[in-house]
Chain A
Amino acid sequence: MASKMENIDKPIDILDDANAPPIAEKSGFLPIETNWFDRLFISVVIWVAMSLLWFRFIEPLGLSIWISNVIALALAAFIIAKG
């Protein structure tokens, strides 16, 4: 009890791996280990980035945003399946 009392106001190190929740992870072609949520997150991030860049550089040339969306969707499916 005494030893526990000494640490009571020490916060948890949230960056410490020992405190991270256990989730099924796997290694795919991505450089880091990921679970399905990470891969979904990466896909969404890529989709948004692509859309914004498309608006800026490619849409003025006359190509519709839907082309970008289709590519992003295909990429997302690939990442979630194989990442």
Chain B
Amino acid sequence: MKKKTPWPYVFFWVLISFLTLFPIYWLFVISVTPSFELFSTPSVILQHVDWQNYTEVIGNPTLRGYMMNSLLISSGNAILTTTFGFFACYALSRFNLSGKESIFFWTITNRMAPPAVFLLPLFLLLTKVYRIEGFTLLDTRIGMILVYCTFNLPFAIWTLRPTVDGIPKELDEAAFVDGASPWKVITEVVFPLCRPGLAVTLILTWVFAWNEYLLAATLTNFNARTLTTGLSEYVTTTGTAWGIMAAISIFTLIPALIVFSVVQRHIVAGLTFGAVKG
């Protein structure tokens, strides 16, 4: 190939980056524009910054509750799926279980199913079948944590499996010879070595749970509503609180952006079912 000057490429990528970033910037612009200025001529350049929408969101006890729910549900789900996924991977890696490859593939199919199809059956099961007297899992945080396992647990299993497989078997066998219990081997020998992989899985499952909307919108009413569903409550047919909506969006975006900077290179592998190593 001919040696070309790199500047056209830089220019091209500046343009692409602009196209990528501008919509996010626009979200920010709307969020710091007071509502009475919104309907004047849209302007790309910020005249002044008004944090009123943000203070309104933080000052709203309902939205604070939603934020808390989002935080608790996604953290609970991430910890639960990573723990279960780690145990499952250890079992798949170290034990000679019959049909374990079928089990592995079966867990993955759980993630490929379209969530819209499961809205109705999950709703019916949660309201009519999974109930003890008056208590149902509908609109509870623990219910949402368990429901999110359907897509996060398969993800955790297939991202963790190579991690666990990569820990040499000789290490835990040596520990067994020294008389350690199986539980002790997992927690004190295998777990410390798996930490980097576990951290990536924990972070990505956390983001997926945080970002989820559809299931949260149908399976919660008030008590366990998450921030993403709170966002859609501000879009009504009678009129939309644009500034508030933008501010909630920014709040939902921030944790994901922080996470993004940490695990950027693992995102592609995670989103492509591991078919492409990022």
Is B208 interfacial (CB 8 A cutoff)? no
Interface of B is mostly: helix
* One of B45-53, B54-62, B116-124, B161-169 at the interface: B161-169
CB nearest to B199 among chain A residues: A9
Interface contact B197-A12, CB-CB below 8 Å: no
* One of B3-11, B32-40, B79-87, B268-276 at the interface: B268-276
Q: How far is the CA of A8 from the CA of B266 in the complex (A)?
A: 12
Q: Mark A35-50, 1 if CB is under 8 A from B, else 0.
A: 0000000000000000
Q: Which residues of A contact B167 (CB under 8 A)?
A: 4, 8
Is B90 interfacial (CB 8 A cutoff)? no
- Selected from A8, A14, A15, the residue in CB contact (under 8 A) with B196 is A8
Taking CB atoms and an 8 Å cut-off, the chain B residues in 248-270 that contact chain A are: 266, 269-270
Is B102 interfacial (CB 8 A cutoff)? yes
- Selected from A1, A8, A15, A21, the residue in CB contact (under 8 A) with B162 is A8
Q: How far is the CA of A11 from the CA of B273 in the complex (A)?
A: 8
Is A32 interfacial (CB 8 A cutoff)? no
Is A56 interfacial (CB 8 A cutoff)? no
Taking CB atoms and an 8 Å cut-off, the chain A residues in 14-65 that contact chain B are: 14-15, 21
B interface residue numbers (CB < 8 A to A): 101-102, 105, 108, 158-159, 161-163, 166-168, 194, 196-197, 200, 266, 269-270, 273-275, 277
The 19 sampled A-B contact pairs (Cβ below 8 Å) are A4-B167, A4-B168, A7-B162, A7-B166, A8-B163, A8-B166, A8-B167, A8-B194, A8-B197, A9-B162, A9-B163, A9-B197, A9-B200, A11-B159, A11-B162, A11-B274, A12-B158, A14-B273, A15-B273
